[in-house]
Amino acid sequence: ALGSLNSEQFNAMPPAAFTAMKPTQVGAMPAALISNLSPQQVGALPATAMVGMKAEQVSALPSEAMAALKPKQVAELKPATAAGFSNEKLAALTPEQTKALKPAFVNALTPEQKAALNS
């Protein structure tokens, strides 16, 4: 259903529409739509829904929206999403977001990504 929306319809969804999303719904969002998410929409996603996030979706997530991720949301990211993080996105994570990353996620990072995370 979400995949059938165009970017204008998707952008018009209020943050409250994101509060009940399930991992499968997040996983079904095309990266092209993810690239249009507002910080408010991202912040409204339940932490448990982040389990559905894929690497290409993380890669498409705008920096402003990435900054809106709560530590609980970051903690739910699967190790497979590590590939979607650019060095710049990792370096921009807040100390709270970085602390929330699970060891399995950190272990999935490349040496270059780990260096960016700790910069």
Average pLDDT, the chain: 92
Residue 19 and residue 105: Cα distance in Å, rounded? 24
Residue 104 Cα distances to 23, 31, 58, 118, angstroms: 19, 24, 17, 16
Mean pLDDT of 30-43: 92
Supply the pLDDT for residue 1. 59
Position 31 pLDDT exceeds 80: yes
Q: Where are the domains of the chain?
A: 2-117
Split at pLDDT 50, 70, 90, the class of 2 is low
pTM of the model: 0.89
Supply the pLDDT for residue 3. 62
- Residue 24: closest CA among 54, 61, 52: 52
